[in-house]
């Protein structure tokens, strides 16, 4: 085999980078579990008709075909392109065995059958949380998923994030108050606010949604409103519209922003330009921007969908939010995000001679008994070379076995300090037990 080259769109990480990604996954999992969300893993494939049932033929799907298919009845299957479709199917399939409201998190790969030339991700990891009810799902779960994901974003070793919240009832109620005929069409236009200049938007509102100039100005004025607290309600009221759906939306949105007020390390704001116009959301909607990485767009999006799944008799409403983990990790890694070691080992046990490997192994096992990750030097090189072996891997300590009754000694190769130790009782400071994850950008949420 000659040297292989990477496949465009299928990112892979080096060990120290992967360690940083794993640390993020652990932080996410721990946060979700503290809030009672259980982990699920669904299969990678779904029947093609399910994958395409939303009419979203624009979804690029990878279809599976057996290499040795002889037309023996293998129904069409494809790789899932998100975690929502498989979750909805899982809920329907196992409804009788689940307890509702059902909180789950899922951290898995998804695939998009994009053209290789596009440079887009074709395989990436998402981290989703959802709460799903049977028949009904009280609104307070909208507040819950917002708070849980806000806490998770705050704990991640990433630049500061801004979780933007809106509620489609606010938009729809406002448009209905204005007497606009097709609120959905208006939302689809407003959703382009970040990409299209205001004048062009007025034009589009007229052409695509039949909105006159005066109403268009109000639609845009509404979209301009943002606030870190309940004050947005006064700004909306100042625009003079009135509708029961608007009232309901303002009330819900106020509850979400109140519910996130105490979460530190992240900004949670009401932003009335967030419409998610092409999605099936029915109330609360979320997007997320990362400071210094605005070019990535939203890294974490979701909302309330009153029909996550239905078997014809029972409807399962849900509310959820999905973090694009690879979308976040890959650009961060390009900017130096990673761990300070390429191995988990906190200690390298040096080797005096090949025939004393047993003695070094015994020391390593004593350290492991106290939960200290370590490894024994591969060969009995000169100690200077063994120290460089540790340095190249980022291992902070080298333990030199004592010979002829002399004490064992451990050297902190960063400071050069060397002291006598008993491997049965000595452990490195807890900060050195696991690699440290850091990113090299200026802004941080810490």
Give, as ranges, the residues between 26 and 65 that touch its own copies (CB under 8 A). Answer: 33-45, 47-48, 50, 53, 60-65
Q: What is the dihedral of CA 31, 35, 39, 44, to 10 degrees?
A: -80
Q: Which residue in the set 123, 247, 251, 279 belongs to the binding site for its own copies (CB under 8 A)?
A: 123
From residue 238 to residue 267, what is the string marking binding to its own copies with x (rule CB under 8 A)? Answer: ---------------------x--x-----
Q: Minimum CB separation from its own copies for residue 239, in Å?
A: 30
Q: At what angle do helices 198-209 and 183-190 cross, to 10 degrees?
A: 160
For residue 156, give both structure tokens. Answer: 């991640």
Query: What is the closest distance, in whole angstroms, from the C-beta atom of residue 129 to its own copies in the complex?
Result: 13
Could you tell me how many residues make up the chain?
Answer: 446
- Indicate the helix (H) or strand (E) that contains 106: strand 102-111
Three-state DSSP at 322 gives: strand
> What is the distance between the alpha carbons of residues 68 and 370, in angstroms, rounded to a whole number?
51
Q: Which of 109, 155, 160, 235 binds its own copies (CB under 8 A)?
A: 109
Does residue 428 belong to the site contacting its own copies (CB under 8 A)?
A: no
Per CB under 8 A, the segment of 76-84, 169-177, 213-221, 279-287 that binds its own copies is: 76-84
Q: Which is nearer to its own copies, 159 or 435 (CB)?
A: 435
Separation between Cα atoms, residue 303 and residue 118, nearest integer Å: 28
Query: For 297, left (φ over 0), alpha (ψ -120 to 50), or beta?
Result: left
Long-range contacts of 410-417 (CB under 8 A, 24+ apart): 410/347, 411/387, 413/387
Which of 56, 120, 135, 140 lies at the binding interface for its own copies (CB under 8 A)?
140
Q: E strands of 315-443, at which residues? A: 315-324, 338-339, 347-349, 374-376, 397-400, 408-412, 418-421, 437-438
The verdict on 379 binding its own copies (CB under 8 A) reads yes
User: C-beta of 324: minimal distance to its own copies in Å?
Assistant: 16
Q: What is the residue whose two structure tokens read 């699920």?
A: 40
**Which position among 120, 237, 368, 414 is part of the footprint of its own copies (CB under 8 A)?**
368
Please say which residue, 37 or 400, places its beta carbon nearer to its own copies. 37
121/107 Cα distance (integer angstroms): 17
Distance in angstroms (rounded) separating the CA atoms of residues 215 and 206: 10
Among 149, 246, 274, 372, binds its own copies (CB under 8 A): 372
Residue ranges in 148-207 that form contacts with its own copies under rule CB under 8 A: none
CB of 28 to its own copies, least distance (A): 13
User: Considering only residues 323-342, where is the footprint of its own copies by CB under 8 A?
Assistant: 342
Residue 227 beta carbon to its own copies: minimum distance, rounded to whole angstroms:
21
- Among residues 80, 103, 408, 411, which is the contact residue for its own copies, using CB under 8 A? 103
State in Å, rounded, how far the first CA of the chain is from the last one. Answer: 46
Shortest distance (Å) from residue 213 CB to its own copies: 40
Q: Residue 138, interface with its own copies (CB under 8 A)? A: yes
Size of the site for its own copies (CB under 8 A): 97
Segment near its own copies (CB under 8 A); pick from 169-177, 187-195, 238-246, 364-372: 364-372
Quick check: helix, strand or coil at residue 127? strand
311 counts as binding its own copies under rule CB under 8 A: yes
Closest approach, Cβ 162 to its own copies, in A, equals 22
Please list the residues that pair with 322 across neighbouring strands: 128, 301
């Amino acid at each position: 085999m000659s040297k292989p080259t990477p496949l465009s769109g299928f990112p892979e990480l080096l060990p120290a980078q992967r360690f940083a990604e794993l640390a993020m996954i652990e932080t996410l999992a721990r946060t979700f579990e503290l809030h009672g969300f259980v982990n699920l893993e669904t299969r990678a494939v779904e029947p093609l008709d399910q994958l395409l049932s939303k009419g979203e033929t624009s979804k690029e799907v990878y279809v599976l075909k057996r290499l040795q298919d002889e037309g023996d009845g293998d129904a069409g299957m494809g790789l899932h392109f998100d975690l929502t479709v498989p979750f909805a199917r899982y809920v329907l399939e196992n409804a009788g065995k689940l307890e509702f409201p059902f909180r789950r998190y899922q951290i898995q790969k998804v695939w998009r059958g994009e053209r290789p030339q596009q440079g887009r991700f074709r395989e990436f990891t998402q981290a989703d949380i959802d709460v799903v009810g049977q028949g009904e799902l009280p609104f307070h779960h909208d507040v819950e998923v917002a708070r849980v994901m806000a806490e998770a974003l705050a704990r991640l070793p990433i630049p500061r994030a801004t979780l933007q919240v809106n509620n489609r009832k606010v938009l729809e109620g406002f448009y209905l108050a204005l007497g606009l005929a097709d609120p959905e069409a208006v939302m689809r236009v407003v959703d382009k606010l970040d990409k299209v200049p205001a004048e062009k938007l007025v034009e589009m509102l007229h052409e695509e949604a039949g909105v006159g100039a005066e109403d268009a100005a109000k639609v845009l004025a509404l979209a301009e409103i943002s606030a870190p607290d309940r004050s947005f309600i006064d700004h909306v009221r100042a625009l003079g519209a009135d509708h029961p759906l608007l009232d309901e939306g303002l009330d819900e949105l106020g509850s979400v922003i109140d519910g996130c007020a105490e979460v530190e390390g992240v900004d949670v704001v009401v932003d009335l330009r967030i419409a998610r116009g092409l999605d099936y959301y029915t109330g609360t909607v979320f997007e997320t921007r990362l400071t210094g990485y605005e070019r990535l767009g939203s890294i974490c999006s979701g909302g309330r969908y009153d029909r996550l799944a239905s078997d014809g008799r029972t409807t399962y409403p849900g509310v959820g939010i999905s973090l694009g983990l690879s979308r976040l990790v890959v650009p961060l890694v390009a900017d130096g995000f990673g761990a300070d070691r390429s191995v988990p080992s906190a200690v390298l046990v040096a080797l005096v001679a090949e025939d004393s490997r047993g003695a070094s192994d015994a020391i390593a096992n004593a350290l492991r008994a106290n939960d200290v990750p370590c490894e024994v030097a591969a060969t009995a090189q000169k100690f200077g070379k063994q120290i460089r072996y540790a340095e190249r891997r980022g291992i902070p300590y080298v333990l030199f076995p004592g010979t002829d009754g002399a004490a064992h000694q451990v050297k902190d190769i960063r400071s050069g300090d060397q002291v006598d130790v008993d491997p049965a009782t000595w452990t490195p400071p807890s900060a050195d037990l696991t690699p440290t994850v850091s990113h090299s950008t200026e802004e941080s949420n810490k």
